[in-house]
């Protein structure tokens, strides 16, 4: 009987050790996924209409977002900095102004088009096109 009890205790302890090894390690895959998503959204995004034309071009008003990989950004319409967090389908933007406004969005990126749908009663959907990165200048010898 002592052998059976010892065996059961051993199984429980081994099971606990194995289960403890199964989750992501600190700095591991969870952080890798967050870094991948920040890399995917980083850049300058200009608001466009459903037919792909720039929004508000007649007034010369830039409207869009700049997302940096460090979790900060800039709303180009209001010229306001913000912090953001991003998950596989959700984007949270918290403005750094004194009003402390923040917004939650469902998002998707297809090619160079970012679709943001506000998660509130309005469920407003907006489209943004990634601004192409400038080609680096070549170094003359």
> Domains of the chain by range and CATH?
32-130 (2.40.128.540)
| 57 pLDDT tier (thresholds 50, 70, 90) | low
Residue 36 near residue 100, CB atoms below 8 Å: no
What confidence score (pLDDT) does residue 15 get?
Answer: 47
Question: What is the residue-averaged pLDDT of the chain?
Answer: 79
Residues 97-115 as b/e (b if ≥16 CB within 10 A, e otherwise) read eeeeeebebebeeeeeebe
What confidence score (pLDDT) does residue 4 get?
Answer: 53
- How much is the pTM? 0.69
């Amino acid at each position: 009987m002592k052998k059976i009890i010892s065996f059961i205790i051993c199984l429980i302890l081994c099971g606990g050790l194995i289960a403890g090894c199964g989750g992501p390690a600190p700095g591991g895959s969870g952080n890798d996924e967050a870094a991948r998503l920040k890399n995917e959204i980083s850049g300058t995004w200009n608001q466009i209409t459903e037919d792909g034309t720039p929004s508000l071009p007649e007034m010369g008003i830039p409207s869009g977002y700049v997302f940096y990989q460090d979790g900060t950004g800039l709303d180009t319409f209001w010229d306001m900095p913000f912090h953001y967090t991003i998950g596989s389908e959700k984007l949270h933007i918290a403005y750094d102004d004194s009003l402390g406004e923040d917004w939650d969005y469902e998002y998707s990126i297809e090619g160079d088009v970012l679709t943001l749908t506000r998660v509130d009663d309005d469920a407003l959907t907006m489209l943004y096109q990634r601004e192409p990165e400038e080609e680096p200048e070549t170094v003359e010898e």
